């Protein structure tokens, strides 16, 4: 933090404990229940199963999301040059 600026205490709000869904915010998307297919991690990753995964990722499922960027690799990564 910069020492030449007036210091203000940062106060973050408490978590709401909600798990919002995309259909709650985007018109035209209807709620539906999806059962995710499970895979053996070796089928998804081959012989080298990644050790560190994000909290939204599981070793035996495909991700529900894609990330765009240049610095982190993963099986749902789309690099900006692609």
- Better-predicted residue by pLDDT, 64 or 79: 64
Backbone angles phi, psi at 68, to 5 degrees: -115, 130
pTM of the predicted model over 0.85:
no
Q: What is the pLDDT of residue 82?
A: 45
HEC-encoded secondary structure of the chain: CCCCCCCCCCCCCCCCCCCCCHHHCCCCCCCCCCCCCCCCHHHHHCCCCCCCCCCCCCCCCCCCCCEEECCCCCCCEEECCC
pLDDT (average), residues 4-15: 82
Q: pLDDT by residue (tens digit) across 45-63?
A: 888 887 756 666 778 887 7
Q: What is the pLDDT of residue 4?
A: 78
Tokens of 56: 């939204």
- Of 1-5, 36-40, 58-62, minimum mean pLDDT range: 1-5
Task: Spell out the domain ranges in the chain.
Answer: 34-82
């Amino acid at each position: 933090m910069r020492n030449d600026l007036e210091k203000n205490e940062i106060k973050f709000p408490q978590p709401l404990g909600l798990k919002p869904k995309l259909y709650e915010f985007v018109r035209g998307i209807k709620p539906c229940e999806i059962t995710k297919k499970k895979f053996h991690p070796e089928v998804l990753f081959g012989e080298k199963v990644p050790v560190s995964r994000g909290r939204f990722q599981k070793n035996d499922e495909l991700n529900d999301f894609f990330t765009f960027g240049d610095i982190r690799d993963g099986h749902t990564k789309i690099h900006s040059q692609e």
